[in-house]
Amino acid sequence: MRAPDPHPIAGLPGRVGVYEVGPRDGLQNEASPVSLATKLEFIERLASSGLSTIEATSFVSPRWVPQLADAGELYPLLPVRPGLRLPVLVPNQAGLDRAVAAGVSHIAVFGSATESFARRNLNRSVDESLRMFEPVVASAKSNGMWVRCYVSMCFGDPWEGPVEPGQVVGVCKRLMEMGCDELSVGDTIGVATPGQVHDLLDGLGSAGIATGQLAVHFHDTYGQALANTLAALEAGVATVDASAGGLGGCPYADSATGNLATEDLVWMLHGLGIDTGVDLESLVATSSWMAQKLGRPSPSRVVQALAGGAPALEDALEEP
């Protein structure tokens, strides 16, 4: 089978926007340099597969993320086509200034729900990091930019353990009050289960944050990313972060393994009869190509199956 048999479930969104993070979140951890030409082709291939939002890079200090040191060179070369959004991550005002100079129209900032991760990722407390983001968001909005706010460690923290929903809601409220257009809540170390997802989304709704303003960002450390995604869909969330081929993790949390693979997400969504605008075959070909460039197989189950890693159905049926 090359595509799932669609069986819709009542009450789920009719269309889901896939927020592709592979070129930024997926590649930022690579130990060996990925060439500018390969990054450009990767993004072009992703766009050609029908993905309309692709987080392209980060205007972060090369000292902290050397893999993305070419952000200023990369961005002006990116494809331009109607309906394609190419956000970039900015860590602070200096990053925003570089993004403005490059002509960026969509940005993201990256905060934390826990003190331990805020200290390790931003070298600041949660409160200090939020106060740092406030002028960045205000400046971005004054420049007519669309702003996404990531919140990491929303369900569990490797140093602090389980994270209370109320703690996450408090951080999310402050970010939305700054003027963020979209809020992505992240399970950075992949420990969440569907009940936790429902509880957090209920808490955010009670705080006045509509599901239309929310996205979810799940890691598959314990194999829960798709189950958690379905829980979010049941709550009305219609934007899901994913990384082509399951690339990526988090450079500041050793227990954070790969992101939810975009192909695995798209297979599930198409099986639910949900429109994504993504050509799955094209996406699989892109991730197979990138896996060859990186010199290792893709962890995506769908890529493995459709790119030849699993026996064809007719062959399997012939086995005794």
Residue 276, φ and ψ in degrees, nearest 5: -125, -20
Distance CA 289, CA 269 (A): 23
Look at the alpha carbons of 125, 126, 130, 133 in this order and tell me if their dihedral is positive or negative: positive
Q: Is 250 a catalytic residue?
A: yes
Catalytic residue among 149, 172, 180, 250: 250
Taking only Cα atoms into account, the Rg of the chain, rounded to an integer number of angstroms, comes to 19
- CB distance 259 to 27 below 8 Å: no
Distance CA 47, CA 40 (A): 11
Distance CA 282, CA 270 (A): 15
Distance CA 147, CA 109 (A): 8
- DSSP annotation of 105 reads -
Between helix 194-206 and helix 165-178 the angle, nearest 10°, is 50
Residues designated catalytic:
250
